[in-house]
Amino acid sequence: MLYLQILVNGIVLGGLYACIAVGFSLVWGVLNVINILHGTFIVIGSYTAYFAYIKLGIHPLLSIPIAAAILFLLAYAFQSGMINKVVAAPVLTTLTLTFGLDLFVNNLLIVAFKADYRKVILEHPLGVLTLAGITIPEDKLAAMGLALLLTGLLFWVLDASRVGRAIVAVRMDREAAALMGVKVKKIYALTFAIGGVMAGAAGSLISLIYPISPLNSLPFLGKAFVICVLGGLGSVPGAMLGGLTLGVLESFGALAFGPEHAVTLSFITLILFLLFRPTGIMGKRGYE
Amino acid sequence: MTRSSVKKCLGKGLVFLAVFLLVASLSTGQAAERVITIGAPLPLTGPLSPEGQKQAQGYDLWAETANKAGGVKVATEHYKVKIVYNDYQSNTPRAVQLAEKLITEDKVNFTFSPFGSGATKAASGVSEKYGMPTIAATASSEEVYNQGYKYLFGTFTPNPTLTEPLSDIVKEKVPAVKKVAILARNDLFPLAIAQCMDASAKKRGFNVVFFEKYAIGTMDHASALTQIRGAQPEWIFATGYINDLILIRKQMGDLKVSAPVVTMIAGPAYKEFVDAAGPLAENITSASWWHPAVRYKGEDVFGSTENYNKLFREKYGIIPDYAQASASVAGCLFQIAIEKAGTLDRKKVRDTLASMNVMTFWGPVRFGETGQIISLKPPVFQIQKGTQVVIFPPEIAQANLLVGVK
């Protein structure tokens, strides 16, 4: 019974983790850009949901489109304005740029909102579901469900839409895609923007569950890193699998080694994967 | 050079000299407006900002009250008091840096410690190095005061003074309690008090079925709470700071973890905890080093607990809790020591603090060998119908312990 509850905890957590990571994985896999801003994008999504709730009374689940729209514009602007200038450069160059941008934006958030923890306290809190002795908080279940939905939606976009196929094409071969008439710079900006959208949506969901503060951007980024390595870069199913794996691993790890070692365990797993299976569980890099 | 040009030069030089002397005399004139500066490195932003802000409120109220009453009397002169704040953003290494900066660059007369046992201990090395009398308003763990330092004083009594009365009360009033579960933040004070709780519980024959630590910054306690639920303890003891405890209490509700007695330190003393936890706060027990219900008449500038509560409410619109009161009394203790010593000399003020035996609105103040206060009787309280009520000591008890936390 205990193990089943721990497993369910892990799966529910994993769904949320997947949502955090999928945007990051997309950008890294397609643009070869390690977007250090990703954590801060998530936090911006959370703040959007928070202020939409306290100022306009909009439920955080309903402010997902608002957060997504804001992050879309922001990410598009960053990419076309700055990151596109170095996108063909070695990955360390783009990493340095996104790192610098993150320092700037994150500290701007601290100045604007202070580093204090905010919490979305719902007037009508979502309850708790009990099934066969297993308890699942409804807010985490909703977050997981939506995470799966958004991830599925992204997968469908990449698979079935023109823009999606163009993104995949650019990843496979940039020059060939350009020769086929794909506007590469625009696709890059769009991909980065989609990464931002996923981050914003994740942030909106997360505002229901975790406290909101600019200081939380690095822990989210750290999780995204581990999940990408676990699941395989640039793969949407990989991000899902990586997220679930990490959630379950942390859950059982806390049981086995104590809660204070849960984070240590995830980073040890990261190192082991990097050493022995750097392509991750899915074993492939890039989009098919 | 011609004579006239030399004259011109001299003339300009004299004018310049006159202006310089005037400006210099004006500046020393400003320094003659006597001010005592006290450095206060605090986590004004970041996860510990709720606690940092409280300390700032306490210091500000004392400074304002002291200045209104004419300032601090040093021998025959009166000095105004100014607190110099530096925000270390809840980052302990930065707290240490800022503590040093306040001493060496801002050249403050005295310092207050940062927030919490961890940061206080870290920064105490700096104040000892410079022979700077420092009062810690929010550090209770004995580990903070065990370095043989002479310049550090603390207004909180050691952790067992909280866990021992709590354990006595539970043992006496709730005989159904046999198993105890402890979940502690892996940080100096929260872990230290959890270990004291472990000792107090075992001493009374309770069975500690679960004792785990969670990392600083943990946002998901589901695994630990699931294990606690499996162990079915009758008493759950969780430690951390306010943001941790709000999260733990909420996630306890999510996982339907309940027990006859749930104790949390340190957070339930604050109104913010009650507001954030809502109905989940009901019947949570806690202990602290002061409560606005105590009644002391003191030598400090506030004069009595009632007057302190009144002035606090007038300035901030809320009732004070122990965090703000401790910060205020830290200021009062500097004032009493300076006035008794009749000087701002650091060594003399330090010696006066060490031998002090005074009554204040906070309670009787006497520091032990290590610099930690030894004269207080900390109250135990419970949240009943959304308010903190004192259940111990009997002299000021307002209600009895209620059993059952859903």
pLDDT along chain B (406 residues), means of 10: 71 70 54 86 89 95 96 94 95 96 96 95 96 96 93 95 94 95 95 96 96 88 93 96 90 92 92 86 94 90 96 94 95 97 96 96 95 92 92 88 92
What is the DSSP annotation of B90-113?
Answer: T-HHHHHHHHHHHHHTS--SEEE-
Cα within 13 Å of Cα(A128), Cβ side: 14
Contact A177, A170 (CB under 8 A): yes
> How far apart are the CA of B90 and the nearest CA of chain A, in angstroms?
9
Euclidean distance between CA atoms B134 and B139, whole angstroms:
12
Spatial separation of the C-alpha atoms in residues B126 and B98, rounded to whole Å: 10
Task: Give the chain A residue nearest B244 (alpha carbons).
Answer: A211
Residue ranges with strand state E in chain A:
128-131, 134-137
Task: Tell me the CA distances in angstroms from B87 to A282, B58, B376, one per residue in order.
Answer: 46, 16, 30
Amino acid identity, position A274: L
Same domain, B211 and B114: no
State the number of CA atoms in the 13 A half-sphere of A179 facing the CB: 5
Q: Are B189 and B174 in contact (CB under 8 A)?
A: no
Q: Could you tell me if B245 and B297 lie in one domain?
A: no
Query: CA A230, A233, A234 angle in degrees (round to 5)?
Result: 140
Residue B219: closest C-alpha in chain A: A210
**Residue A215: what pLDDT?**
82
pLDDT, residue B21, reads 66
A9 to B222: CB separation less than 8 angstroms, yes or no: yes
Judgement on whether residues B254 and B341 belong to the same structural domain of the protein: no
Residues B186 and B278 in one domain: yes
Dist CA B35 CA A17 (whole Å): 54
Residue B357's pLDDT is: 96
Q: Which residue of A has its CA nearest to B279?
A: A125
What DSSP designation does B147 have? T
Bridge partners of residue B213, in order along the sequence = B184
Regarding whether B168 and B115 lie in a shared domain, the answer is no
**CATH number for position B232:** 3.40.50.2300
User: Hey, where are the domains in chain A?
Assistant: 2-214
B148 shares a domain with B134? yes
**Angle (CA) B321 B47 B191, round 5°:** 75
Decide: B193 and B141 in contact? Cβ < 8 Å: yes
- Tell me, yes or no, whether B150 and B299 share the same domain: yes
Q: Determine contact, residues A93/A71, Cβ cutoff 8 Å.
A: no
Of B47, B215, B223, the CB nearest to A6: B223
Share of residues in chain A with pLDDT > 90 (%): 30
Establish if B247 touches chain A: CB-CB under 8 angstroms. Answer: yes
pLDDT classification of A137: cutoffs 50, 70, 90:
confident
Inspect the interface and report whether the beta carbons of A259 and B224 lie closer than 8 Å.
yes
- Looking at residue A247, its amino acid is G
The pLDDT, as a whole number, for residue B19 is 66
Between helices A217-231 and A262-276, what is the axis angle to 10°? 40
The per-residue pLDDT for B25 is 55
Name the DSSP class of B317: S
Residue of B nearest to A128 (CA): B254
Chain B residues within an 8 Å CB radius of A205: none
Residue position matching structure tokens 């706060």: B281
Range B39-53 burial, b when 16+ CB lie within 10 A, else e: bbbbbbbbbbbbbbb
Residue of A3, A12, A111, A117 to mutate when probing chain B, most B C-beta within 10 A: A117
Would you say residue A213 has pLDDT above 90?
no
Specify the amino acid at residue B114. Answer: P
Q: Give the model's pLDDT for residue B28.
A: 47
Would you call B126 an interface residue with chain A, using a CB distance cutoff of 8 Å? Answer: no
Whether A215 and B50 lie within 8 Å, measured CB to CB? no
Does residue B2 form part of some domain?
no
Cross-chain residue pair A115–B90, CB shorter than 8 Å:
yes
The pLDDT of residue A286: 47
Spatial CB neighbours of A253, under 8 Å, sequence gap ≥ 6: A261, A262, A265, A266
Q: What is the per-residue pLDDT across A15-45, written as a single tens digit (0 to 9) for each? A: 888 888 988 988 888 778 889 999 999 999 9
Same domain, B174 and B279: yes
d(CA B397, CA B170) in angstroms, rounded, equals 15
A110: closest chain B residue by CA: B45
Regarding whether B151 and B63 lie in a shared domain, the answer is: yes
In a shared domain, residues B261 and B385: yes
- Answer yes or no: are the C-beta atoms of A33 and A87 closer than 8 Å: yes
| Average pLDDT of every residue of chain A | 86
B47 shares its domain with B195: no
Inter-chain CB pairs, A–B, below 8 Å: 96
Closest alpha carbon to B255 in A140, A243, A210, A211: A140
Q: Domain for residue B340, yes or no?
A: yes
Stretch (H or E) spanning B74: strand B72-74
How far is it, in rounded angstroms, from Cα B359 to Cα B378?
15
Give the Cα separation of A30 and B16 in Å (integer).
68
For A207-234, what is the mean pLDDT? 86
Structure tokens of B315?
A: 């300035």
Residue B190: what pLDDT? 95
Q: Is residue A285 scored above 70 in pLDDT?
A: no
- The pLDDT of residue B301 is 96
Chain A residues within 8 Å of chain B (Cβ atoms): 1-2, 5-6, 9, 13, 110, 114-117, 119, 121, 128, 130, 135, 137, 139-140, 210-211, 213, 215-216, 219, 250-252, 254-255, 258-263
Please indicate whether, in this complex, the C-beta atoms of B222 and A13 are within 8 angstroms of each other: yes
Domain residue limits at B40: 35-157+293-366
For residue B222, list chain A residues with Cβ-Cβ distance below 8 A.
9, 13, 251
**Whether residue B269 sits in one domain with residue B389:** yes
Looking at residue B400, what DSSP letter applies? P
- Asked whether residue B11 is domain-assigned, the answer is no
pTM of the model: 0.80
CA distance B195 to B208: 11
For residue B50, the chain A residue with the least C-alpha distance is A116
Total domains, chain B:
2
